[in-house]
Every structure is written in structure tokens, then in C-alpha cells.
Amino acid sequence: MEDEISSFFESSPPLKNMKETTENLNQFIELNSSSSQGGRRIVCVTSGGTTVPLEQRCVRYIDNFSSGNRGAASTENFVKAGYAVIFLYRRGTFQPYCRSLPDDPFLECFEYPDKTNIQVHKSHVEAVKMAVMDQQAAVAEGRLLKLPFSTIYEYLQMLRLIAMVLKDVGPYSMFYLAAAVSDFYVPWDSMTEHKIESGSGPLDIRLAQVPKMLSILRSNWAPKAFCISFKLETDSKILIEKATKALQKYKVHAVLANELSTRKEEVVVVSSSGNVVVRRECDKPESIVEDNLIRLIVDRHSTYIKEYHS
């Protein structure tokens, strides 16, 4: 497995903005680990789906359903709980603090009463005000660092980089891996450079399996970090069994099991201390499952830190 992982990284196209990303990460971690900030806990939240390019000069790619809602909502809750968040997200997916804005906020939230004036429409004032205030406060206080990815190659290289720079934060760091990561991909070396021709009949593509990085994240990249992974299924009958197997195989601290159609209503926290069902509070229209979920995860992280030191 280690060989497969090494060859995945060796053959990946290098990150374009590696130097700048590393500098931003180091600054963010230094700021949040300093005693002036009381040594904040730092969580890396991954969000959205990875793409699988079919051509090196990519015109076509394979994608998945993930909207990034879970990652964005969880990020807001982690910031509220006092964490600094590295938000590793798929370009174009939901962003923290903007989930309640209309799909096209720029066009739908604004109006111009006359030709020299533009203003937020009355019906959206509160939502826009909250979004701008909360986002700006999180960034200004150094609690939110947003890093975008598109491809599986970018995602895994960035995850490894984040794990490496977080190593010294030890048990105060957390990985909350909500991104829907591709299981299959076209290895860069065997990918055609130019756009695939469409005139020669059906297309046969052989996809290789993406090496599983969770084990190496746990054992090598960030062995002291608190690590939460997700399991998604469409068949609720196999969900808990699969999540339990993942818990044992990857030795993460909890697996959050969710089913595609009910993922906004219910998540099961599967861990060695038993399974806990976390639900959205149905009688409160504003309630989201992440409110209760992040409260529970933060509690578990506190216990982990205490046990680590004892």
C-alpha cells in the first residue's frame, strides 16, 4: 500500500501554488498556536467532491454529488465553538456563512432604486448582514483559512501538506473529513494529454483505485491528531456495518455514518464507545444536524485531549 501511495504522489502534477499555500498554512498555525490566542484547537474540515480528470489538458472529468453543505455548516459550528478552521473545499461548492443566501446572491439580493444607487433588497438584508459580519470576523480573528481544490490530485496533496504542518499541534488538532473523495481515477501517466476524440465510437476507460490515504494519515502524517471520517451509503441496511468496518480498519476516532437521502436529518456517530444517533431538531425550522453533531464531536475531542495528557 505504501508503494501505491508513493507512486500516486510521485506521478501527480505538482500543486501550482504550493509555496504560497505552505506560507499561509504556517502563518495560520503559528497565530493560532500562540499563547496570545490561548493555543486554540485547529480543525481541518474537508468539503465537497473531488473531480477525476480524463485528459491532462482537462476538458472532461468525472464528478460526484457532494454540495459542500456539510463541510460549510460544520465549519461555522467549529468556529462558534472556538476552533480555528482550515477549510479545504471544492471550488464552487457551499461556503461557510452563505448557506442561507439565494443561489445567485449577487443578482437576487441587490436592487437599484435609481441609476446611481445599489442596495440590498429588504427581504435579504438580515441574511447578507450576518453572512458578511460572521465571515469577516472569522477571517479577521484568524479563525478561518480557506483553501480550494478541484481534482483528486490537488485534494490529496493538500491534505498531506496540511497534516504535515499540523503535526506539532498534536492532540489539539483534528481532521474532520467530510469531503466525498473519488474511489477511482485515471493515473496521470496513463492519461491522454489532449482532448479525447469523439469520432471513433464508444469510449473505454480503465479506472485505477485511488490508494486509501486514511491509514497513512493516522499512522504517519498526523498520528496524534483526533481524526473523524465519514461513511456514505445509499443502502441504509449496510451503512452501520460498513462504518464499523472503517472504524476498525483505519483506526480513526469516530466514523460519521450517513445515508444519501437523509444526510441533512440524521448522522450516526460510530465509535468504540458505541453508536449515537444525532438528529436535526425537527420542531425548530432553523435547526441543522451539524449544531448537535459538532457539539458532540467537540466534547469527544476534549475527552481525547484529557486522556492524551493523563
Q: Which three-class secondary structure string do you get for the chain?
A: CHHHHHHHHHHCCCCCCHHHHHHHHHHHHHHHHCHHHCCCCEEEEEECECEEECECCCCCEECCCCCCHHHHHHHHHHHHCCCEEEEEEECCCCCCCCCCCCCCHHHHHEEEEECCEEEECHHHHHHHHHHHHHHHHHHHCCCEEEEEECEHHHHHHHHHHHHHHHHHHHHHEEEEECCECCCEECCHHHCECCCCCCCCCCCCCCCEECCCCHHHHHHHHCCCCEEEEEEEECCHHHHHHHHHHHHHHHCCCEEEEEEHHHCCCEEEEEECCEEEEEECCCCCCCCCHHHHHHHHHHHHHHHHHHHHHC
- Work out how close the CB of 69 gets to ligand PAZ at its nearest, in angstroms, rounded to a whole number: 3
Residues 137-176 as x/- pattern, contact with ligand PAZ by CB under 6 A? ----------------------------------------
Q: Which of 69, 74, 135, 151 binds ligand PAZ (CB under 6 A)?
A: 69
Q: Which three cell numbers stand for residue 194?
A: 489532449
Residue 230 interacts with ligand PAZ (CB under 6 A): yes or no = yes
Of 290 and 298, CB closest to ligand PAZ: 290
- Work out how close the CB of 64 gets to ligand PAZ at its nearest, in angstroms, rounded to a whole number: 8
Residue 180 interacts with ligand PAZ (CB under 6 A): yes or no = yes
- Work out how close the CB of 42 gets to ligand PAZ at its nearest, in angstroms, rounded to a whole number: 21
Q: Which of 50, 51, 150, 258 binds ligand PAZ (CB under 6 A)?
A: 258
Site for ligand PAZ in 263-282 (CB under 6 A): 263
- Work out how close the CB of 254 gets to ligand PAZ at its nearest, in angstroms, rounded to a whole number: 13
User: How many residues bind to ligand PAZ according to rule CB under 6 A?
Assistant: 13
Q: Which of 124, 143, 218, 231 binds ligand PAZ (CB under 6 A)?
A: 231
- Work out how close the CB of 274 gets to ligand PAZ at its nearest, in angstroms, rounded to a whole number: 20
Nearest to 83 by CA among 46, 47, 45, 41: 41
Q: Which of 33, 43, 44, 70 binds ligand PAZ (CB under 6 A)?
A: 70
Q: Are 155 and 50 in contact (CB under 8 A)?
A: yes
Residue 181 interacts with ligand PAZ (CB under 6 A): yes or no = yes
Of 32 and 258, CB closest to ligand PAZ: 258
Residues 75-104 as x/- pattern, contact with ligand PAZ by CB under 6 A? ------------------------------
Give me the residues that bind ligand PAZ (CB under 6 A), please.
66-70, 178, 180-181, 230-232, 258, 263
